């Protein structure tokens, strides 16, 4: 941390370093300080695989097996040698095994314990790399364990296990990241036992911080709860280190550092837990009376969400390794909960914006709509004032009509509108949230009394939403006087608090990424309410099927950046014009409107993709009639699964093609498998890289394996092969890179962050699994510089029958509908079951928690249909807990169907990666979903798990 802004009253002022040094933290790499804390551990660094020692701490000779070296000679005699020369054989083997295990698992570090009874030496050893995936330089950190520590490790292992289990169960019940952080703070505070205060720091969008929770021992009188501090208290370099290494301890703020000695090489100490602390932070802690400290980082989406910090005020203290690891484990659970909660908040706000879209009346004026919906827009945008000005186009005068909602005292004056109308282009948008930014625009408090705004300018419309000063929210919940600490000296958090208040008087809550996305949606809605008039329907009426197809995929690609909005629209909108207008506006505003993507043979195979975009009301008879002139036979397919595969592959091809590349997509039917794979041979013969994924063969190269497979497949008389290919003119890739594109993520440390960051690999892997599930094949061929081709073949019925390719579903209990959004299926299910001669009861649960109570009842459901978008516990969490109940209670596995309005990569892959479900369906559900589902019901005593469920929940996934 940086020091307080004011240091006039600090008792150690005469010993302070220069003010220039106090800001060093923002300018240097803290991981390269080159020291470790004294009396904590010993470190050495080696090259791999050579094992050459390139650096070590100055006191390395104090290790029992190094005592034959003199302090003055150790650098010359050890550096440049190998660890095999200087480490005991047993320790060298332990280190070597740890390195191999770390590399095999792609971990950043690995722990081992080493004991030598002859010398009574006990060490905890951590082998680590500072750079993920780079094992050329490895750190070896060794802590000497005394008998007390060894006994504690043995005696407390069972206790720690129970603590983690209890905390894990409690974390499952937490609904927010803040709640989870508070729980872990209290748990670790009691688990460690030494510290006298524990706190949870939460960082706002502008990086300023706030203490949102505090636990302390009875003799500590002062309180930090409610304290706010500026972003400078946690320098950016420190934030980056916390993201990479979430555990930090300081044994003694007054202790001496031990330098790392090397042959003039900078050593990266990112993963070294005993890394020393910068003088700035030590000064800050001394001013608060702190003697020892520990912190656990909470990381969300690659950024520092908060810190769980602990302070001791009496004696030096270093937490034992096994307790540090336990704390890190709990902190990672908090990070996962934070990401889940953030996603829920984001979805909630987006659904509310979708509700604005639904309520918007196309036949009313924009002014009338804003008058009616203004308060709801303010709530969604988390703003305090909304103002719109209109200049009628049919008047010769500069008549201005306006509408305002919210705090009237924040309405901007005339100069505000004049300035911004000359700065912001037509159909443009600007967001500002600091006084400095206002001054650059020539604005002040007179012409804009607020502290932050989003301004939009369209044809005859100027529109803004504004926020009030953040200082309204900055309060101290603790002692209003400068509090003093009875242990260890004066406490000076007031300086940081007062600095934050002064800053908050000038700034607003910053507009985060979600705010700006919602503002962009709002801009589209307000400015282009009259511009889109069913362009896709017009194209279809003109029989321009190719162009309609191009635009539908372009619109989907554009919507990928805003998939949550589309999810909300698909959930709430049932009017075709509104749905098409929304997607059309986003398409027309995008540079991808001029895409060179080419499609051919558009037939009923593309019906699912179009339904995803426009909803079930779109009449495809015209498209079918037009395409029938090319004599393409209609086929029966599983709409949802095929559309998942096709949309994923097309979007991946567009991504590979780049902004100026071309993607050619082709659909056709073949009579048998050999004919289906012949089309791929020409492409493969010209490519240098190739991957083939078959139903029963995980991964093989081309030619013999494929043909052997094809000849072994028994052809059915009523079966043809639906073939799809996508070829791009992008840069292509080498064989290794191509194979990696199809690898699932197996890192044991994986969490939701990986799913959101690396969707491409997961998407292609999931596509391959879906193709296998349908009994088909998938190939991918690529040549660097020339491009990449995907080929897919899936066996389908050659008639127009409604028969499904899905598996039979065993029925021994009721059907459970989870989520009010799908209660409408009840009547259709009852009707179809009656028609099929089945008597299957239907049970409804309004949310996930009610579903859990019903699931634990006497009659275990055989089929569960879950709505992803539910209040509180969402569909993913509900699904996971239902499967957990089945496993713990040894219940038969129900056939579970997840329903979501969002079929973009993100949501599809979250559902697939979550595992546990048997099918993923889009909303609104296809009209033939229930008629195809019920015939698969087979009344018997046991339900079989779906193949995809087995794949996604297997031990090696």
**pLDDT at position 24, please?**
46
**pLDDT at position 816, please?**
92
Domain check: are 852 and 922 in the same one?
yes
Q: What is the mean pLDDT of residues 323-333?
A: 88
Domain check: are 786 and 858 in the same one?
no
Domain check: are 762 and 822 in the same one?
no
Q: What is the mean pLDDT of residues 124-129?
A: 90
Domain check: are 841 and 745 in the same one?
no
pLDDT band, residue 599 (cuts 50/70/90):
very low
What the block records as the tokens of 8 is: 């006039």
Query: Does residue 641 sit within a domain?
Result: yes
Domain check: are 538 and 428 in the same one?
no
Query: Does residue 859 sit within a domain?
Result: yes
Closest CA to 217 of 312, 330, 317, 291: 312
User: For 366-382, how does the pLDDT look when each residue is reduced to its tens digit (9 = 90+)?
Assistant: 888 888 898 999 888 88
Choosing from 483, 513, 543, the residue where a domain stops is: 513
Query: Does residue 411 sit within a domain?
Result: yes
3-state secondary structure 396-435: CCCCCEEEEEECHHHCCCHHHHHHHHHHCCCCEEEEECCH
Closest CA to 350 of 676, 571, 662: 571
Number of other residues whose CB lies within 10 A of the CB of residue 190: 12
Domain check: are 859 and 730 in the same one?
no
Q: What is the mean pLDDT of residues 451-462?
A: 84
Higher-pLDDT residue of 27, 279: 279
Higher-pLDDT residue of 324, 910: 324
Choosing from 797, 827, 844, the residue where a domain stops is: 797
Domain check: are 818 and 743 in the same one?
no
CA separation for the pair 665, 667 (Å, rounded): 7
**pLDDT at position 670, please?**
75
Domain check: are 566 and 669 in the same one?
yes
Of 145-149, 475-479, 780-784, 863-867, the one with minimum mean pLDDT is 475-479
Domain check: are 925 and 786 in the same one?
no
Higher-pLDDT residue of 350, 197: 197
User: For 888-914, how does the pLDDT look when each residue is reduced to its tens digit (9 = 90+)?
Assistant: 777 888 888 888 765 444 445 455 545
Q: Is the pLDDT confidence value at 200 over 80?
A: yes
**pLDDT at position 57, please?**
92
Query: Does residue 158 sit within a domain?
Result: no
Q: Is the pLDDT confidence value at 14 over 50?
A: no
User: For 647-703, how does the pLDDT look when each residue is reduced to its tens digit (9 = 90+)?
Assistant: 667 777 777 776 666 777 676 677 777 777 776 665 555 555 556 655 444 444 444
Of 64-78, 440-454, 476-490, 700-714, the one with minimum mean pLDDT is 476-490
> CATH number for the domain including 433?
3.30.450.270
User: For 87-118, how does the pLDDT look when each residue is reduced to its tens digit (9 = 90+)?
Assistant: 999 999 999 999 998 888 888 888 888 888 77
CA separation for the pair 676, 474 (Å, rounded): 67
Looking at mean pLDDT, say which of 256-265, 495-504, 620-629 comes out highest.
256-265
Higher-pLDDT residue of 589, 943: 589
pLDDT band, residue 743 (cuts 50/70/90):
low
Q: Is the pLDDT confidence value at 77 over 80?
A: yes
Contacts of residue 767, Cβ cutoff 8 Å, sequence gap at least 6 = 644, 645, 648, 649, 778
pTM: 0.53
User: For 261-284, how does the pLDDT look when each residue is reduced to its tens digit (9 = 90+)?
Assistant: 987 778 888 889 899 988 778 877
> CATH number for the domain including 533?
3.30.565.10
**pLDDT at position 642, please?**
62
Domain check: are 564 and 614 in the same one?
yes
Query: Which residues span the domain enclosing 547?
Result: 526-797
Query: Is the CB of residue 101 less than 8 Å from the CB of residue 110?
Result: yes
Q: Is the pLDDT confidence value at 419 over 90?
A: no
Query: Does residue 64 sit within a domain?
Result: no
DSSP of 348-362, one letter per residue?
Answer: HHHHHHHHHHHH--T
CA separation for the pair 90, 40 (Å, rounded): 23
Query: Does residue 162 sit within a domain?
Result: no
User: For 545-598, how does the pLDDT look when each residue is reduced to its tens digit (9 = 90+)?
Assistant: 444 444 444 444 443 433 433 333 333 333 333 333 343 333 333 333 332 222
Contacts of residue 518, Cβ cutoff 8 Å, sequence gap at least 6 = 349, 350, 353, 380, 381
**pLDDT at position 508, please?**
59
Query: Is the CB of residue 925 less than 8 Å from the CB of residue 797?
Result: no
Question: If you ran DSSP here, which 8-state letter would residue 82 be given?
Answer: B
> Residue 327 phi/psi, 5° resolution?
-65, -40
CA separation for the pair 525, 399 (Å, rounded): 23
Q: What is the mean pLDDT of residues 868-896?
A: 80
Question: If you ran DSSP here, which 8-state letter would residue 377 be given?
Answer: H
Query: Does residue 948 sit within a domain?
Result: yes
Q: Is the pLDDT confidence value at 941 over 60?
A: no
Domain check: are 828 and 767 in the same one?
no
Query: Does residue 545 sit within a domain?
Result: yes
CA separation for the pair 780, 653 (Å, rounded): 11
Query: Is the CB of residue 536 less than 8 Å from the CB of residue 579?
Result: no
Higher-pLDDT residue of 178, 641: 178
Query: Is the CB of residue 826 less than 8 Å from the CB of residue 957?
Result: no
Number of other residues whose CB lies within 10 A of the CB of residue 621: 7
pLDDT band, residue 641 (cuts 50/70/90):
low
Domain check: are 397 and 533 in the same one?
no
CA distances from 774 to 244, 286, 642, 686, 955 (A): 42, 66, 9, 28, 23
Of 461-465, 473-477, 544-548, the one with minimum mean pLDDT is 544-548
CA separation for the pair 386, 456 (Å, rounded): 12
366-381 and 321-359 helices, crossing angle to 10°: 170
User: For 152-195, how does the pLDDT look when each residue is reduced to its tens digit (9 = 90+)?
Assistant: 777 777 788 888 888 888 888 888 889 999 999 999 999 999 99
CA separation for the pair 207, 237 (Å, rounded): 13
> CATH number for the domain including 913?
3.40.50.2300
pLDDT band, residue 231 (cuts 50/70/90):
confident
**pLDDT at position 235, please?**
78
pLDDT > 70: what percent of the chain? 65
**pLDDT at position 462, please?**
87
Of 212-216, 553-557, 750-754, 843-847, the one with minimum mean pLDDT is 750-754
Looking at mean pLDDT, say which of 8-12, 480-484, 627-631, 672-676 comes out highest.
672-676
Of 329-338, 540-549, 811-820, the one with minimum mean pLDDT is 540-549
Q: Is 124 helix (H, G, I), strand (E, B) or coil?
A: strand
**pLDDT at position 297, please?**
95
Choosing from 735, 770, 797, the residue where a domain stops is: 797
User: For 784-803, how does the pLDDT look when each residue is reduced to its tens digit (9 = 90+)?
Assistant: 777 888 888 877 754 333 33
Q: Is the pLDDT confidence value at 833 over 90?
A: no
Please provide the average confidence, as pLDDT, over all residues in the chain. Answer: 70
Q: Is the pLDDT confidence value at 484 over 60?
A: no
Residue with tokens 């100026």: 660
Q: Specify the number of domains making up the chain.
A: 3
DSSP of 545-583, one letter per residue?
Answer: HHHHHHHHHHHHHHHGGGHHHHHHHHHH---HHHHHHHH
């Amino acid at each position: 941390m940086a020091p307080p802004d004011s240091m006039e009253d600090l008792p150690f002022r005469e010993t302070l370093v220069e003010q220039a040094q106090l800001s060093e933290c923002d300018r240097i790499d803290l991981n390269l300080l080159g020291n470790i804390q004294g009396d904590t551990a010993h470190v050495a660094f080696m090259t791999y695989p050579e094992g050459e020692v390139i650096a070590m701490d100055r006191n390395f000779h104090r290790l029992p097996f190094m005592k034959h070296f003199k302090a003055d000679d150790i650098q010359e005699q050890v550096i440049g040698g190998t660890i095999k020369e200087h480490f005991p054989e047993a320790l060298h083997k332990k280190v070597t095994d740890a390195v191999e295990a770390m590399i095999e698992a792609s971990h950043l570090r690995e722990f081992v314990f080493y004991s030598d009874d002859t010398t009574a030496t006990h060490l905890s050893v951590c082998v680590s790399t500072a750079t993920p995936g780079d094992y050329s330089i490895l750190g070896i950190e060794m802590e000497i364990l005394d008998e007390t520590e060894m006994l504690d490790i043995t005696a407390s292992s069972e206790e720690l296990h129970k603590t983690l289990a209890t905390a894990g169960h409690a974390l499952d019940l937490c609904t927010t990241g803040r709640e989870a952080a508070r729980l872990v703070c209290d748990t670790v505070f009691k688990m460690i036992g030494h510290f006298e205060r524990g706190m949870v720091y939460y960082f706002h969008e502008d990086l300023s911080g706030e203490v949102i929770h505090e636990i302390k021992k009875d003799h500590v009188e002062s309180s930090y709860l409610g304290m706010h501090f500026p972003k400078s208290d946690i320098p950016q370099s420190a934030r980056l280190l916390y993201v990479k290494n979430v555990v930090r301890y300081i044994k003694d703020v007054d202790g001496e550092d031990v330098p790392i000695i090397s042959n003039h090489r900078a050593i990266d100490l990112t993963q070294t837990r005993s890394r020393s602390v910068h003088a700035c932070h030590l000064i800050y802690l001394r001013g608060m009376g702190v003697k020892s400290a520990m912190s656990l980082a909470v990381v969300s989406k690659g950024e520092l969400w908060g810190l769980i910090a602990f302070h001791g005020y009496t004696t030096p203290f270093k937490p034992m390794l096994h307790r540090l690891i336990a704390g890190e484990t709990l902190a990672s659970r908090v990070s996962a909960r934070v990401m889940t909660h953030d996603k829920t908040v984001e979805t909630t706000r987006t659904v509310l914006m979708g509700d604005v879209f639904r309520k918007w009346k196309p036949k009313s004026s924009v002014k009338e709509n804003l008058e009616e919906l203004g308060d709801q827009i303010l709530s969604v945008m988390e703003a305090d004032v909304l103002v719109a000005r209109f200049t009628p186009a049919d008047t010769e005068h500069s008549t201005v009509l306006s509408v305002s909602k919210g705090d009237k005292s924040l309405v901007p004056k005339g100069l505000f509108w004049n300035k911004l109308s000359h700065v912001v282009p037509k159909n443009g948008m600007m967001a500002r949230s600091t006084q400095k930014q206002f001054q650059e625009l020539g604005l002040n408090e007179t012409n804009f009394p607020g502290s932050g705004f989003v301004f939009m300018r369209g044809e005859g419309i100027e529109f803004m939403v504004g926020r009030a000063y953040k200082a309204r929210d900055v309060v101290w919940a603790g002692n209003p006087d400068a509090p003093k600490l009875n242990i260890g000296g004066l406490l000076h958090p007031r300086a940081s608090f007062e600095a934050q208040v002064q800053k908050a008087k000038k700034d607003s809550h910053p507009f985060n990424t979600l705010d700006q996305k919602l503002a962009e949606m709002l801009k589209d809605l307000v400015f282009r309410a009259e511009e889109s008039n069913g362009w896709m329907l017009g194209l279809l009426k003109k029989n321009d099927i190719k162009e309609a197809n191009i635009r539908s995929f372009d619109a989907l690609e554009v919507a990928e950046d805003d998939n949550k909005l589309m999810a909300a629209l698909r959930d709430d909108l049932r009017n075709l014009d509104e749905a098409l207008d929304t997607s059309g506006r986003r398409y027309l505003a995008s540079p991808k409107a001029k895409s060179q993507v080419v499609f051919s043979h558009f037939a009923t195979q593309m019906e699912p993709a179009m339904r995803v975009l426009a909803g079930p009301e779109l009449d495809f008879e015209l498209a079918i009639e037009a395409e029938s002139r090319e004599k393409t036979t209609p086929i029966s397919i599983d709409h949802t699964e095929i559309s998942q595969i096709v949309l994923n592959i097309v979007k991946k091809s567009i991504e590979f093609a780049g902004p100026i590349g071309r993607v050619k997509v082709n659909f056709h039917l073949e009579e048998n498998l050999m004919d289906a794979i012949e089309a791929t041979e020409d492409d493969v013969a010209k490519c240098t890289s190739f991957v083939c994924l078959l139903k029963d063969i995980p991964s093989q190269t081309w030619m013999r394996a494929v043909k052997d497979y094809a000849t072994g497949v028994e052809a059915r008389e009523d079966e043809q092969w639906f073939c799809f290919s996508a070829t791009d003119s992008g840069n292509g890739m080498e064989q290794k890179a191509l194979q990696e594109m199809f690898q699932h993520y197996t890192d044991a440390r994986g969490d939701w962050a990986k799913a959101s960051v690396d969707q491409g690999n997961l998407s292609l892997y999931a596509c391959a699994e879906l193709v296998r599930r349908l009994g088909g094949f998938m190939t991918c061929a690529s040549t660097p510089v020339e491009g990449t081709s995907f080929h897919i073949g899936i066996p389908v019925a050659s008639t127009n029958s409604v028969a499904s390719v899905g598996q039979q579903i065993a029925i021994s209990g009721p059907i459970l509908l989870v989520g009010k959004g799908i209660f409408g299926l009840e009547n259709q299910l009852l009707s179809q079951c009656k028609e099929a001669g089945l008597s299957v009861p239907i049970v409804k649960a309004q949310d996930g928690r009610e579903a859990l109570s019903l699931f634990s009842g006497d009659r275990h459901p055989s089929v569960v249909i879950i709505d992803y978008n539910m209040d509180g516990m969402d569909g993913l969490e509900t699904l996971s807990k239902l499967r957990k109940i089945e496993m713990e209670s040894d219940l038969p596995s129900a056939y579970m169907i997840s329903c979501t309005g969002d079929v973009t990569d993100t949501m599809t892959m979250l559902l697939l990666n979550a595992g546990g479900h048997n099918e993923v369906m889009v909303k609104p559900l296809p009209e033939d979903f229930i008629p195809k589902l019920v015939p698969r019901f087979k009344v018997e005593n046991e339900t079989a798990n779906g193949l995809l469920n087995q794949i996604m929940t297997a031990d090696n996934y």
